[in-house]
Amino acid sequence: MQSLQEEIRNCRKCSLAHTRTNVVVGDGSLSADTLFVGEAPGFYEDREGKPFVGAAGQLLERLLKSIGLSRADVYIANILKCRPPQNRDPLPEEIEACKPFLLRQIDIIKPKVICTLGNFATRLILDKNVNISQVRGKKIVHGNLLVFPIFHPAAALHATTNLSSLEEDFQKLKLALEEDIEFQPQPEQTSLF
């Protein structure tokens, strides 16, 4: 992971390299059973170089605690490793530039479950144009991955009506993690995609 982190920190594949303060690689246990994938760093993440440290991160930590986990138990990453200006949506070319880094993080950590936070992460990991509202809170087998889409915590901060759905999703995640997940990748597949 160290060599990958260094490669990400030196990345200049897109214009975000010119506007970032810090690269936000990821954070947590390299042997985590659960990997959370968000969209992109925000203002505070860019300043600190760590994912989910702002208000959405505080909510994520509270939700993790509600199911008996902490940041140290999971790994948290984003699709983009640099903050888009004014927290705008990621551009397709930025996603393509960062996608190999995320896939290598997944290959290194080998989580049992990937929790995608919001539309962008869910669409990237499932390689399908789906709406998070339709797939949230469901276990989805995709190739050799077990994916569990969840609303992004920021969605609950912007529309408090989403908070109960997010809390419900985390309880479903807890049940999914408590089940003895003996998910085995398809034998003919050797990589994620």
Q: Rounded to two decimals, what is the model's pTM? A: 0.91
Say if CB 147 and CB 138 are below 8 A apart: no
Asked whether the predicted pLDDT for residue 147 surpasses 50, the reply is: yes
Each residue's pLDDT tens digit, 66-99 = 999 999 999 999 999 999 999 899 999 999 999 9
**Is 101 within a domain?**
yes
Identity (one letter) of the amino acid at 108?
I
CATH code of the domain covering residue 104: 3.40.470.10
User: Higher-confidence residue: 83 or 188?
Assistant: 83
Could you give the number of structural domains in the chain? 1
What's the pLDDT at 144?
83
Over residues 130-153, mean pLDDT = 92
User: What is the SS3 assignment for 87?
Assistant: helix
Q: In terms of residue numbers, what domain contains 35?
A: 2-178
What's the pLDDT at 180?
52
Nearest CA-CA partner of 42 in 31, 51, 29, 32: 51
**Is 186 within a domain?**
no
Over residues 30-41, mean pLDDT = 96
What's the pLDDT at 187?
39
**Is 75 within a domain?**
yes
**Is 185 within a domain?**
no
